[in-house]
Amino acid sequence: MKRYECKLSPETLKKAIDELNEPEDNTERLAAIDKLRARFQKENDGSELIRSDDAFLLRFLRVRKFNEDRALTTLVNYHKHRTEWKELYDLVDNPKDCERLMSAGPLLPLNDARAKDGTFVFVGRPGLGFVEGDDMFKFLAIILLSVEKQLEKEEFQIYGVTIIDDMSNMGLQTAMQLASYAKRFSSIMREAMPVRIKSFNFINEALVFDILWTVISTFMGEKLKNRLTVHGSNVKTLHDKVDPVHLPFFLGGSGPDLNADWWTKEVLSTVGSGEDTSL
């Protein structure tokens, strides 16, 4: 197995050291990875890791600031959720089943553009392209697929993500569907996915948002609540976080349109293949 070699820029490495307690010395980094791998295999009845390469395990150490116990818990939860919510992860493992909805663009990144704090940006439009009864379920799978794809970038692991949810397409039925899955899915994102959510922004939220918020706020952690902003139709406050030069027109920006075709091809090209593209 090829071992991890640090190729981070000096600026990104410094951020990882300062904020995530990442060792500067690669020998120490590899030792932390080896300990995490060994503990998982020892403490989980011989359960096999989905991936055992260094790059995969490093994600879990980074998201828990190199606290070995917390990283192990997250890694165990990652495998546990895949087993317990098989219906969802069958879609994640067979992303072609989500291709039609993904091509409509209900969740897309701003390519390589960043928020003002350096985080990557996802733009969600729940409800966009929904025509089938299981499209909300497929939307949840698309979220996991998209996060997994971006996690191939080490900078995404380190800087984290800003999420913008445009609720313009959210009708009552869609809101009720999302509310029914929200607690279980939130648990995956909070306890199992090695992703740093640094900012969550709702814009153009309709009256049905109150129904959704009543449900999800009851189990949302205080840390995420403090990172959540409801902007209404005021794109100016959104622009305080993301320069409008990077945002599409419907978010009050002058940037390029979101490219659903490009992102669909990106996700379908490697996600689920087990390919390690970060070394």
Question: Cα torsion at 181, 184, 186, 187 (round to 10°)?
Answer: 180
Q: Comparing 10-84 with 99-270, is the CATH topology the same?
A: no
pLDDT for 109 beyond 70: yes
Kindly provide the b/e burial profile for residues 197-227, where b requires at least 16 CB atoms within 10 angstroms of the residue's own CB: bbbbbbbbbbebbeebbebbeeebeeebeee
Domain boundaries, the chain: 10-84, 99-270
Give the lowest-confidence range in 18-27, 32-41, 71-80, 222-231: 222-231
| Band (274; pLDDT cuts 50, 70, 90) | very low
Percent of the chain's residues with pLDDT above 70: 91
Domain 10-84 sits in CATH 1.10.3720.10: no
Q: Which residue has better confidence, 68 or 276?
A: 68
- pTM metric for this prediction: 0.92
Whether residue 278 is predicted with pLDDT greater than 70 in this model: the reply is no
* pLDDT tens figures, 155-206: 999 999 999 999 898 888 888 888 889 889 999 999 999 999 999 999 988 7
Class of domain 99-270: alpha beta
pLDDT confidence of 270, banded at 50, 70, 90? low
In the predicted model, is pLDDT for residue 77 greater than 90?
yes
